[in-house]
């Protein structure tokens, strides 16, 4: 009987996977990129749209905006620089995204809300991110669409 118990215990221990889970670099990259989008939104809320957009833009970034052809690179930087963000407040919340298998490019999407003294506008956005050589993320494309009807925090 004793040998049967010992054999069962040995069998159970042999069938257990006692190795530690491997680090999932893709999941780490996704979490890091999504945190970057949240940090981007926090900076815009605390320090203004212009400062945040300039801080997180890649040199060759593309902006897609209503009533404009794609705004690319230096023109995108100039477009952002010319915005007077003292007349409005823009906030957004990332709701999801994905990252490439290599963990060096990905996208986030969510909802935004822009408030001026006269009106409020809501919509959706998508941002495409590229990991930089220093490990940080910067956006290479940002696009938004007007017309979201659900308030922030309720559009899942």
pLDDT of residue 81: 93
Q: Is the pLDDT of residue 156 over 60?
A: no
**CB 139 within 8 Å of CB 127:** yes
Mean pLDDT of 19-38: 85
The CA distance from 91 to 109, in Å, is: 13
Residue 156 lies in a domain: no
Residue 135 lies in a domain: yes
Residue 107's Cβ-side half-sphere holds a number of Cα atoms within 13 Å equal to: 9
**CB 57 within 8 Å of CB 76:** yes
The CA distance from 72 to 85, in Å, is: 20
Mean pLDDT of the chain: 86
pLDDT of residue 27: 92
Residue 117 lies in a domain: yes
The CA distance from 35 to 28, in Å, is: 10
Which pLDDT band holds residue 150 (cuts at 50, 70, 90)? Answer: low
Q: Residue 123 pairs with which residues in a beta bridge?
A: 112, 146
Residue 16 lies in a domain: no
Q: Domain residues for 35?
A: 24-146
pTM reported for the whole predicted model: 0.78
Total domains, the chain? 1
Q: Residue 139 pairs with which residues in a beta bridge?
A: 57, 129
pLDDT of residue 105: 98
Q: At what angle do helices 25-47 and 49-56 cross, to 10 degrees?
A: 150
In degrees rounded to 5, what are phi and psi of residue 93? -130, 120
| pLDDT tens, position by position, 94-130 | 999 999 999 999 999 999 999 988 889 899 999 999 9
The side-by-side arrangement of strands in the sheet containing 57-64 is 71-72, 57-64, 137-146, 120-131, 105-116, 88-99
Residue 15 lies in a domain: no
Q: Nearest 5°: CA angle at 142, between 141 and 146? A: 150
The domain that contains 77 carries what CATH number? 3.10.450.50
């Amino acid at each position: 009987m004793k040998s049967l118990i010992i054999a069962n215990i040995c069998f159970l221990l042999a069938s257990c996977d006692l190795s530690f889970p491997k680090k999932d670099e893709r999941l780490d990259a996704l979490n890091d990129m999504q945190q970057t989008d949240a940090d981007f939104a926090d900076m815009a809320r605390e320090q203004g749209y212009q400062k945040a957009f300039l801080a997180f833009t890649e040199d060759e970034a593309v902006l897609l905006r209503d009533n404009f052809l794609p705004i690319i690179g230096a023109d995108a930087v100039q477009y952002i620089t010319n915005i007077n963000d003292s007349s409005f407040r823009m906030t957004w919340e990332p709701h999801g995204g994905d990252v490439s298998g290599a963990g060096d490019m990905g996208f986030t999407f969510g909802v935004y809300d822009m408030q001026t003294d006269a009106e409020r506008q809501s919509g959706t956005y998508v941002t495409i991110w590229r990991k930089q050589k220093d490990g940080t993320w910067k956006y290479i494309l940002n696009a938004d669409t007007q017309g979201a009807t659900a308030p922030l925090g309720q559009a899942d």
